[in-house]
Structures are given as C-alpha cells and as structure tokens.
Amino acid sequence: MDSSNSMTPLMRDSDGLPLRLADFETLWEGLDYAAQGAKGISFFDSLGRLTGILSYRELRDRAVDLALRLNANGFRHGDRLAIVAETTPDFPVFFFGCQYAGVIPVPLPMNVHLGAHDAYIVSLRNMMKAAGVRGVVASDDWIAQVREAASMLEIPFAGPPEDFYALSRKKGSLAPFGKDDPCYIQYSSGSTAFPKGVLGTQLSVTSNARGIGGHALQVRDGDHAVSWLPLYHDMGLVGFCITPMLTQLSLDYLSASSFARRPLVWLTLMSERRGTISFSPTFGYDLCVRKMERRGIEEADLSHWRIAGIGGEMIRPAVLAKFAEVFAPFGFDEKAFLPSYGLAESTLAVTFSGLGRGVRTHRRSELAPDQRDANYSGLHREFAICGKPMPGHELEVRADDGTRCVEGEIGRVFAKGPSVMAGYFGEAEASAEVLGDDGWLDTGDLGYLLDGELVISGRGKDLIIQNGRNIWPQDIEWAVEQLEGVKGSGVAAVSMPSRDGSENVVVVVEARVKAAEEIALLEKQIHSTVYQAAGLKSEVVITTPRSLVRTSSGKLSRAGTLTKLLSGQIAVLNRDDEDAGGSAKRTALAS
C-alpha cells in the first residue's frame, strides 16, 4: 500500500456538527443534515490507493440533481430503478438520488463467479422482472451484461451513469419519500429462478440504523468506519452506506473484489486511516489470517479499532481467536469483537452482544451419552453468544408446535419490531409464509436463549436429520476444513434423500491436492474426521476449487451445491476407477 495515503487529506472525523444518531424519519432528511458538515466517503483500490472522495455535501447536491433529471424524464413516485451496486461514487449518488425522487432503488449484485455468465444474466433478468424496474444503471464494465439481461424486458432506460446525468432536468421537481414510504428493494433471498425482494421502508431502515448507531455501536465524535462489504448485501448497504450517513460518520471503501484479492489491504486501511469501526463475516477474518501465514504485513497499528463486528453467517469462535492471536502484536484487542445476529428481512441487525466484551461462547453437546459408542470422541459444539435484541425489538424461540421454548432449548427464531420488512415485493404468498398477522417474523434460523441472549445454532433449512438426530452441517464442515489439502471454506455438508426415504450425509470438499494417492488419503481422512466430529458415516465427494455454489454475498449455498452435484456439474475426483464420468458415484450416493 502506498504509505503516502496516510498523508492524504480525508473526510474529517470531527467537524463540529452535533451528532444525531439516525433520529430522522427518512433517509433524505438524514443526508440533508449530514451535508451541513465536512464528512463523507473515501474510495480506495486494491493497492490501497485513494481513487476518489465524495463529501456528504457533494453527495447531497449530486443526488438532488439526479432526482430532478429522473422526474423530468418520466420516473414517477414508486417507480423502480435497478443499480448494479459497484463500490464507486456513482452508487450512493443513484441510491440517494432515488430517495429525493421518490423512486425505489433496487441494488443488484455483480457477477462474482468466473465462468457463470449465463447464470448471471438469468439472475439479473429475473430480479429486474420481479421488481418491474423502469430503468437500470451500470458502469461500462457491466452495462453489456445488463443490457443483455434487459433485452427481453420492456425497460425504457438502460445505460451507464453518464447517460442518466445527461438527461434534461427541465421541468423536473423533487418528490422525496415520506416517513411511511418504501426505501429500497433488496434481493438477497429466494432462488435464481424465483428471487424474493425484501421491501425495506423508511421506518424499518431508520429504526434499524438508529439501533445500530445509537445503541449497539454508540457512535461518537472521532469515529471512522472502513468497509469492504458489497453494497448489494444488507451488511454493506444498511451497515456501511446508510447507517454511517445517518450518524454522520466518515468512512473508507474498499471493494469486495479488491478485498478478495488482497485482504490485508483492509487492515492496512484500518491502520493508516485510524479506523475505529469495521465489520466482516467470519470468513473475512479467516482470509486475513491465511494471508498472514503466507505473506503478511510487517507494520500496522490496529490499536484504534474499537469495534470489530461479526455477522452475515454463522460465527466461528476458533477463527476469531486465531485472528486475535495473529494480530495482537499489531495492537488488536480481542475485546473489540462484537458478535451480532441479523437478516435482510429485519433490515439488517436484530441483536448485538455488547461493546467491550469480545466473543463470548457457550459449549453444548447435541449427542446424548447413550447414542455414543466406544470410538466416538463426542466433540462439543461451541457457539457464539449474539446478545440481546435492540431496543424496541423482541425475540422468541419456538418449538415446531409453535409453543415458546424454555431457555436452552433449540427452536426456530422469531423476531418482531419496527425493523421488520413490509414483505417481499410483489410476493404476498411468500410474505405470508414468514410474516404473521401479529407482526412476528419467522427468520428460518435455529437457536436458543441463554440468560435472555440469543445463540444461533444453525439454519433450519440446512439441518440434517438422520435416525432422529439433528446433524449440524457446520460441525462437519469446520472439522474437515482443518485437514491439510482442503481449501479454506471449501466444504459443504448436505443431506441427500435415498430411495428408501432415509437421508445420506454427503460431504463435498474442494481439494488442493491433485495426485490420485493424495486424493485417496484425503478421502480416508475426511471419513474419519466426519465420524469424530458428528458420530456418523458419510459419503465423500472430492472436487476442484470453485465448485461449491455461493450466493451473491459469498455465503455457501448448500442447496445449490446439492443441486449442482445431482445434475452432474461437479467434477468427482475420487470417483471409482470404472466410473470415468463420475455418474456411478452420484448414483450410489442417491441409492
């Protein structure tokens, strides 16, 4: 990283403007206020070089100008505008421009999977169709794919930002959203074929930002945020685009693709910019540890990092402990870790563990003593405690019959409060499946309460049930990932129904080894590890890197991986000798 950046003038962290912690009814009112100060956003490339600065004052001016142009050219109150969510100044301009125009922004993901062009086009097309967008904007890097996706849809406006900025603003007027209006549509749920767009409202978003900034993070004068999180994901959009603006925080952006290539640039930015707040899923911290093991940074000062948030996926305490150990010599304090729980259907955040407490865990064994044999080691599960709900929000853990679980009993997690979504856009039936008439949201996650604090134990739809036992796929995956020759975060444990109605556990593993004898040895090690971790026998599929299916935000899709395996699209490296195409192996798995 260019060390001269530490001398580059940035957006101020303190400007004399009294802090208001998201006490606004709409996003545009929050931006109007933030624009009175001298804070804003700085953008950096994969080498840590400053590429652009956008003050909140300039953001407000450009957003208002764009809103006038949109309304002067046929965009009406409630129309939808899709925005390919690149980490550039254009994204916040368009997102907040929509707020002033009364147009609902629809952030769209970028194609993060090489070689998946056709699938990406289908995904884009289905999201734009489901949202009924009137326009779509993307940079020159993505506009060809966007236009291809839009070619079968009747979308009047599809072009790069420059085309929209060139629209006439004559007779344009502002029509900003009111407090009871929508805010955005976010596609983070559902399948590629049937996407479900979370409809966030001004109320749900401002309520969530208020809980995050005021209650959970306790934002104070002098704080500075740094983020690499994608802006089409709720952690990036709400946590590190909307909330910083509503709490007048200056922040630095590194794109998710830049982070993936050079994860340690994130930490270098935290050091040189004296960052105090940053969040990541567990895998982000893991990437930094792995990169340090190969070729790390020599100097950094992480002593200013007071909040290192974790969310977005199951929290892995062992990974975070390793991160704290590796980066303690650079001033990182393990008490900075802030576990949280949330989901897009509740805007972003539901619970936080509490500042200055670090990662607190709870150990439990899911296998009763009478179910173990002499060869089973009985590894305990260690879960991160995710804390209590934000003010004004409630939690319940319910059994299958709908009754409330006693403390410590695992059940489905339900949430209620002003942050809960209005529903899935245009999907009344899907909305009714998760939203009750009483306002309770079925999160689909499994967990339990411990002294009133939430502990997440897994995702309901990923749970494997075998011979009456609940098998948590994370237990298997995390154990197998420790083996030499296994790609980090390259394991998926799934359940495959057999013809007799029982379930087989299949472990799909991305391997770093290629030689036949190495693959054979690895397969034996995986079988043994799975038995030690979960007390069961499994089928093992060893495949090549980048074979597992992931969501647009990088999360493992177990269901997608299983579908890909069954359709013959995953190369099976440990296939039987007589099975040149791997089909016999797949048939055996399903029989």
Both tokens of 122, joined, read 């289908």
Residue 361 to residue 302: CA distance in whole angstroms: 24
Task: Provide the pairing of β-strand 349-352 with 381-389.
Answer: antiparallel
Which of 462, 477, 492 marks a domain boundary?
462
Q: Which residue has the tokens 């849809």?
A: 153
Examine the domain organization and report whether 61 and 205 are in the same domain. yes
Examine the domain organization and report whether 31 and 150 are in the same domain. yes
**Residue 240: inside a domain, yes or no?**
no
Residue 280 to residue 264: CA distance in whole angstroms: 13
Report the CATH number that the domain containing residue 535 is assigned in CATH: 3.30.300.30
Report the CATH number that the domain containing residue 367 is assigned in CATH: 2.30.38.10
**Residue 259: inside a domain, yes or no?**
no
Examine the domain organization and report whether 386 and 516 are in the same domain. no
**Residue 396: inside a domain, yes or no?**
yes
Examine the domain organization and report whether 386 and 500 are in the same domain. no
Contact status, residue 442 vs residue 415, Cβ threshold 8 Å: no
* Helix 473-480, helix 516-534: angle, nearest 10: 140
Examine the domain organization and report whether 457 and 484 are in the same domain. no
Examine the domain organization and report whether 498 and 380 are in the same domain. no
The residues facing 493 across adjacent strands are 507
Report the CATH number that the domain containing residue 91 is assigned in CATH: 3.40.50.12780
Examine the domain organization and report whether 402 and 493 are in the same domain. no
Examine the domain organization and report whether 411 and 543 are in the same domain. no
Secondary element (H or E) of residue 104:
strand 104-108
Q: Is the dihedral of CA 129, 186, 48, 38 positive or negative?
A: positive
Residue-by-residue pLDDT tens, the chain, 591 positions = 544 444 344 566 777 899 999 999 999 999 999 999 999 999 999 999 999 999 999 999 999 999 999 999 999 999 999 999 999 999 999 999 999 999 999 999 987 654 568 878 988 999 999 999 999 999 999 999 999 999 999 999 999 999 999 999 999 999 999 999 999 999 975 556 678 999 999 999 999 999 999 999 999 999 999 999 999 999 999 999 999 999 999 999 999 999 999 999 999 999 999 999 999 999 899 999 999 988 889 899 999 999 999 998 889 899 999 999 999 999 999 999 999 999 999 999 999 999 999 999 999 865 444 444 444 455 567 899 999 999 999 999 999 899 999 999 989 999 999 999 999 999 999 999 999 999 999 998 989 999 999 999 887 778 776 655 667 788 899 889 999 999 888 999 998 766 544 568 999 999 999 899 999 999 999 999 998 877 788 899 999 998 998 876 677 888 888 878 877 889 999 975 433 334 434 443 444
**Residue 368: inside a domain, yes or no?**
yes
Examine the domain organization and report whether 55 and 201 are in the same domain. yes
Which of 434, 462, 490 marks a domain boundary?
462
**Residue 309: inside a domain, yes or no?**
no
Which of 156, 176, 210 marks a domain boundary?
210
The 10 Å Cβ neighbour count of residue 227 is: 28
Examine the domain organization and report whether 505 and 434 are in the same domain. no
Q: How many distinct structural domains can be found in the chain?
A: 3
User: Which residue from 358, 19, 435 is spatially nearest to 213, judged by alpha carbons?
Assistant: 19
Range of the domain at 428: 318-462
Tens-digit pLDDT profile for residues 259-272: 999 999 999 999 99
**Residue 292: inside a domain, yes or no?**
no
**Residue 218: inside a domain, yes or no?**
no
**Residue 206: inside a domain, yes or no?**
yes
Tens-digit pLDDT profile for residues 447-481: 999 999 999 988 777 877 665 566 778 889 988 99
Examine the domain organization and report whether 542 and 449 are in the same domain. no
> b/e map of 276-309 (b: 16 or more CB within 10 Å)?
bbbbbbbbbbbbbbbbbeeebbeebebebbbbbb
Examine the domain organization and report whether 347 and 398 are in the same domain. yes
* Helix 56-72, helix 90-101: angle, nearest 10: 60
